[in-house]
Amino acid sequence: MPIPALIAITRDVSPSLAACELSFVERAPIDLDRAIEQHRAYRAALATLGCEVHDLPAQPQCPDAVFVEDVAVVVDEVAVMTRPGAESRRGEGATVAPLLARWRTLRAIEAPGTLDGGDVLRIGKRVYVGQSARSNADGIAQLRALLAPHGYLVQGVPIRGCLHLKSAVTALADDAVLLQPAWVDREAFAGFRLVEVDAAEEHAANVLRIGERVVSPACFPRTHARIRAAGIEVVAVDVSELQKAEGAVTCCSLVFETGP
Ligand code: CIR
């Protein structure tokens, strides 16, 4: 039987990154060369963790195109191309779709639905979707209709004070989540082991799970200690320049298995 490979789709940093969308973060000067170097190191970390990394060329006209997570939702059976909530980002998916089509049948969210992949947290067959400024009720209903036939339970989750659901909560393991209680209610994740971010590290809830380990921004050592205390290994990466564009670690890749 063939061994499933782990694929990570990424995209090089756009030279226009400084013109990115910002919602909850103050605009600050971005060092583009440093952002590019941090992105290179991020890709290297994914490769070290066992991913086959497929890096797309930068999209100069799309400042936020490095954040590939937002343009697709990939589950075991299909990939759903999203319709991002920010109009400036709607041109990003077209160049990701042909690559994804190598491994998955493609479906799509249609207008008037909007959905950002950053709002979609999948843990097993449960799919939590942030009710955010980027993902509307119609987009969530369309995702539910597309995934329900494959056995997924899609449920909307209210969030506040942050961009996406995965700004507020991400998976640490099949039975554990890392959560920022100021931005999402703990009750929405009852039944999971809950690890909360350290109060001094507001933005620390976004980690990228790869197998038994999680990738996390290097600037959150207190939260890393909490994650390690829960028995989970942390791989720290410096993404300070991408954080200025309101991105972190899940947003820079689409990670999935090739199949059984
Ligand atoms: C945006 O506002 O769309 C980008 N500046 C940041 C997107 C980050 N995406 C993510 O966390 N999934």
Could you report the predicted ipTM of this complex, rounded to two decimals? Answer: 0.98
Kindly report the CATH number that applies to the domain delimited by 6-257.
Answer: 3.75.10.10
Terminal-residue alpha carbon distance, the chain? 8
Q: Quick check: is 51 catalytic?
A: no
Is 164 a residue of the active site? yes
Nearest ligand 1 atom to alpha carbon 86 = 3
How high is the pLDDT of residue 247?
A: 96
Q: In the sheet where 213-217 sits, what is the strand order?
A: 208-210, 213-217, 233-237
Ligand 1 binding pocket includes 96 (Cβ within 6 Å): no
Residue 260: what pLDDT? 56
pLDDT computed for residue 187 by the predictor: 97
CB 134 less than 6 A from any atom of ligand 1? no
Q: Per-residue confidence of the chain (260 residues) as pLDDT tens digits?
A: 566 699 999 999 999 999 999 999 999 999 999 999 999 999 999 999 999 999 999 999 999 999 999 999 999 999 999 999 999 999 999 999 999 999 999 999 999 999 999 999 999 999 999 999 999 999 999 999 999 999 999 999 999 999 999 999 999 999 999 999 999 999 999 999 999 999 999 999 999 999 999 999 999 999 999 999 999 999 999 999 999 999 989 999 999 999 75
What local confidence, expressed as pLDDT, does residue 3 receive?
67
Domain range annotation of the chain: 6-257
Distance (angstroms) between ligand 1 centre and the Cα of 93 equals 14
d(CA 123, CA 242): 25
List 51, 62, 164, 203, catalytic entry: 164
* CA dist 12 → 39, 60, 67, 84 (Å): 7, 10, 9, 19
Q: Is 8 in contact with 258 (CB distance < 8 Å)? A: no
Q: For residue 247, how far is its CA from the centre of ligand 1 (angstroms)?
A: 5
Distance 133 CA to ligand 1 centre (A): 12
